[in-house]
A and B are shown apart, each in its own frame.
Chain A
């Protein structure tokens, strides 16, 4: 079963032409082919969200997304969120708020928030909690994470 599929992706603004197996997930392509290890490989069942990336601007769990289905897609991973040396408002806010315990979920958390804020740029606290519900912090450090997303939403809205 080694039929290879041509996969054209734009990842963090860079164009890639890859050959992937039918059963490879987007997460495997990002981590193994492109060595972008920001998206984490954890539950592999779409439950925990630490593999979250944006596909055409929408947040998805890359661990259960068949890579070959993403042909032609624009992918943003946590590595591509900053503009050059300037951090994304979410990254700045997570630092400001100390919204990190072990840190493992944070790339997924930030990408989940990035996707959600595109849909709802001025969320209430309750809406942020719902927006992040698909991504789990097993340190249970949600309070500061929610505060950071609130801060980022304000910063982004003020621009």
Chain B
């Protein structure tokens, strides 16, 4: 493993460095995925641009509109932030099943998104929470709806050189409940076989006004089960509807078999997790 490391002082400085380098450079923050890929030789890079000391991209800010997570905030920062955990339990639940504590203390939310693994737990939770991704590139800043960020495994709609600066989450409306569930081959330190994040907002008379169902590791990118969401929206959720929505979510994805699990098993797990996730949300409403 060998590379030159370029330390960026700000997002603009990172963009400047990127513009000055030949192709093949990479941004690095926590490095918990990238360093391993470089060491294994599955990825080669002569130049890494280190984002980790950019002050404006650290920490979690809360204001009247919601939360702004700096791209460099770690999984542990998410797990330990009380306001964020209270607003969106699904996000905390996802952050705390990533790797062990050593990984969660270093791996960042920006890296989790930019790495674009279809099995990324925090990315799946953020997809259910309608996160907005603040990105900066040579053409300036923009916000990307998270559903428009992912393309396929390790591919995003970020332009070459564009970096993630922050992730924004709106303050949840009063009766919002979220859940994150994951099945792996063992309890900890495991890539998800299937993950599911559910976020439901309820109006008067317990009618579900907004439903989000996000699924991990069942396609080339984190997916939304949008037809299942539509079944829930506008309805009062009962056991029959939960079962129908879970079956619909299963029908909406076509997982592949890999050494971790077969496609058939994953499909069954999707149905089970969605059923349990919705039930959890309804149970506390």
Contacts and interface: CB of A to CB of B under 8 A. Distances in A.
Interface of A: 1, 3, 5, 21-23, 25, 44-47, 49, 52, 55, 58-61, 64-66, 68-69, 71, 112, 115-116, 119, 130-131, 133-135
Given A60-B106, A66-B31, A66-B50, 18 more contacts: A1-B2, A3-B5, A22-B3, A22-B5, A46-B36, A47-B189, A58-B105, A64-B39, A66-B5, A66-B28, A68-B5, A69-B31, A69-B50, A112-B100, A112-B102, A115-B102, A133-B100, A134-B99
A23 B2 contact: yes
B66 to A, nearest CB: 26
Given A1-B3, A22-B4, A46-B36, A61 B76 contact: no
Interface residues of B, number: 31
A58 B77 CA distance: 11
B235 interface: no
B4 A49 contact: no
Contacts of B100: 49, 112, 133-135
Contact of B35 (A55, A64, A116, A130): A64
A154 to B, nearest CB: 21
B189 A133 contact: yes
B3 A59 contact: no
A116 B189 CA distance: 16
A45 B31 contact: no
Given A64-B35, A69-B52, A134-B189, A59 B102 contact: yes
A1 B189 contact: no
Contacts of A47: 189
Interface of B: 1-5, 7, 28, 31-32, 35-36, 38-40, 46, 48, 50, 52-53, 76, 80, 99-103, 105-106, 187-189
Contacts of B80: 119
Contacts of A46: 32, 35-36, 99, 102-103
A11 to B, nearest CB: 18
A61 B35 CA distance: 12
